[in-house]
Chain A
Amino acid sequence: MSESGSIFGEKKKSPFTTGSGGGDEFAVDLNLTPLMDVMSNILFFLLAGFGALLISFLTATVPVQSEGESEPETPRLDRVVVNLQILPDSYKINCSNDKIPGDELAKLKQVIRKKEAGGYDNAALTAVLLDIKKKYPASDTIMMVPSETIVYEEIVAAMEASKEMKEDKQRLRLFPKAVIADLVKTELDSPPPVEAPK
């Protein structure tokens, strides 16, 4: 440490001075220890943060027709497929499973309206999906059907809300398999004309 307390450290007679006059020549040693401390700290935090890359991803699939001739999987009673319609003003949730009675599935239907601030209520979506997951624990697939006006950011937010839930520092898997589907449009712009009774 510097005896003088200055950042320039201590002044010493230079070992390179050869005598012969120049009694005023000194080698000034910079005190580099604080600089080293600061740099080591920055380096440590940068190295610690570097492992966590900035870009990540969420997985999704689109429905495709299988070409194989394998037997379709028998529906299980502890599993449902959640259908999530992302409408311009709300989320609309319903579930499907051929083996479960329709009235039981009808109880799972939910509509989550947008918040007053304008955004989708993703916390409410997660809560609803958690209830479904508790009732049908083998469920892992959610079919998302966004409306035409929905943007990519909103789809990603819905995927994130339906993928997992964080509770007490634990992550509960909800519906990690997201399938993004499109509504089938009819060719008719207006309903067919009704024939007058004869």
Chain B
Amino acid sequence: MSGGGGGSDNEYDVQLNLVPLIDILTNILFFLMVGFVSQEIQYEAENKIKLPVASTNTELRMSVAVSISNEELLVEKVRVAKIINGKVDALTEGDKIVPLFEKLNALKAAKQGQTGGVSENDDVIFLVADRKIPFTLLSPIMKTAAMAGYPNFRFAVIKK
């Protein structure tokens, strides 16, 4: 790279060692790619739930998660009832699904015990439901949640 013009004995090509930099970049790249798909995998593969798609940009906030697949009803990843032929297979009193009601009540009491009072997301359910769930299944679950003190819902969707 010397441009000529004398003194060529003191000129050296300084080569940067790029190998460690590439190592770091590769690691960052790997973890970003893994993290990028993890959310969808978490909801769609593990829970066998295919979320509906919508164009919304609201950021996620923590609240009690209720998942409804074609096979089971989960609260905070704990199964509270099976779903058979599109109906909740559990003890019911009218529209109230008793095990769901009890679980949500217990969670509410535990959370209020921890925080020492009512906070912003205490009456909100983060509902992760399969896109093909019929309203006949959704309705009693939402009513039960409302009876347990959770009348507000956040319907999980995949961003368009």
Contact = CB atoms under 8 A, between A and B. Distances in A.
B60 A152 contact: no
Interface stretch (A56-64, A76-84, A91-99, A106-114): A56-64
B135 A147 contact: yes
Contacts of B118: none
Contact of B22 (A36, A62, A64, A160): A36
B133 A151 contact: yes
A156 B28 CA distance: 36
B45 interface: no
Interface in B1-43: 15, 18-19, 21-22, 25-26, 28-29, 32-33, 35-36, 39-40, 43
B43 A155 contact: no
A63 B143 CA distance: 9
B155 A182 contact: no
B146 interface: yes
B101 to A, nearest CB: 14
A57 B155 contact: yes
Nearest to B17: A32
Interface residues of A, number: 41
B157 A57 contact: yes
A159 B127 CA distance: 15
Interface stretch (A16-24, A40-48, A126-134, A135-143): A40-48
A53 B133 contact: no
Interface string B128-142: 011111111011001
A148 interface: yes
Nearest to B41: A54
A46 B159 CA distance: 17
A149 B153 CA distance: 21
A55 B29 contact: no
Q: How would you classify the secondary structure of chain B's contact residues: helix, strand, loop or mixed?
A: mixed
Contacts of A64: 146, 151
A56 B134 contact: no
B52 interface: yes
Interface string A156-190: 11011001000000000000000010100000000
A152 B146 contact: no
Contacts of B158: 54-56
Most A CB contacts (10 A, CB to CB) among B29, B56, B146 go to B56
B21 A36 contact: yes
A25 interface: no
A75 to B, nearest CB: 22
Nearest to B16: A32
A147 B134 CA distance: 9
Nearest to A9: B15
**Shortest beta-carbon contacts, A-B, top 5:** A153-B131, A57-B154, A156-B52, A152-B133, A153-B52
Interface of B: 15, 18-19, 21-22, 25-26, 28-29, 32-33, 35-36, 39-40, 43, 51-52, 54-60, 126, 129-136, 138-139, 142-143, 145-146, 151-159
23 contacts: A39-B25, A39-B26, A43-B29, A46-B33, A47-B32, A53-B59, A54-B159, A56-B54, A56-B158, A59-B155, A60-B153, A62-B142, A62-B145, A147-B135, A152-B129, A152-B131, A152-B135, A153-B132, A155-B138, A156-B54, A156-B131, A160-B56, A182-B143
